[in-house]
Amino acid sequence: MGIRNCKKCNRIFADDNFDLCPICRNGDLEEFKIVKDYLYDHPGADIQTVSEVTGVDTKKILKFLREGKLEIRDDSPNLLLDCERCGAPINTGRFCSKCVNEMEREFKSAISGNASSTKKDLGKNSDKMYIAERHKR
Ligand SMILES: [Zn+2]
Ligand SMILES: [Zn+2]
């Protein structure tokens, strides 16, 4: 097993596919638990209050939200996040549901748009070539 440097504290630790050492990861987990517990008891509390009460940095709380670890209740008046695409207030994650839908549609139409053209055939051919090449070796 290799070793790597913790991105946060630079401690060397056994590489287990994380950027942070177990100590820093635990710190994050602890803070996440504190915030989560507080929000469980005080749903809809705004981020400033949560930060003051729990002692967890607002940036970190926002990070939890961005990662979708925390979710603000739909009935909460405190929408803390903006959709990264259209700027609409959202509860969790990075995009509002409208943009998620739109992006999914665009993504699908991009695929099916290509499928009708020669690109699909090219894809097929390159697949075959790739397989043939591997056989030769
Ligand atoms: Zn660390
Ligand atoms: Zn949006």
Give average pLDDT by consecutive 10-residue segment, the chain, 137 residues: 87 87 83 87 82 90 82 60 85 87 90 60 49 49
Q: What pLDDT is recorded for position 86?
A: 93
Q: Does the model's pTM come out above 0.75?
A: no
Query: How many Å lie between the centroid of ligand 2 and the Cα of residue 71?
Result: 17
Q: Which amino acid is at 135?
A: H
The CA 96 to ligand 2 mean position distance, Å, reads 4
For residue 105, which amino acid is it? Answer: R
For residue 46, give the nearest of 4, 16, 109, 89 by alpha carbon: 89
Distance 27 CA to ligand 1 centre (A): 9
If you measure from the C-alpha of residue 86 to the centroid of ligand 2, how many angstroms do you get, rounded to a whole number? 4
Give the per-residue pLDDT at 72: 62
Q: What is the pLDDT of residue 79?
A: 56
List the shell of residues around ion ligand 1, using CB closer than 5 Å.
6, 8-9, 11, 21, 24
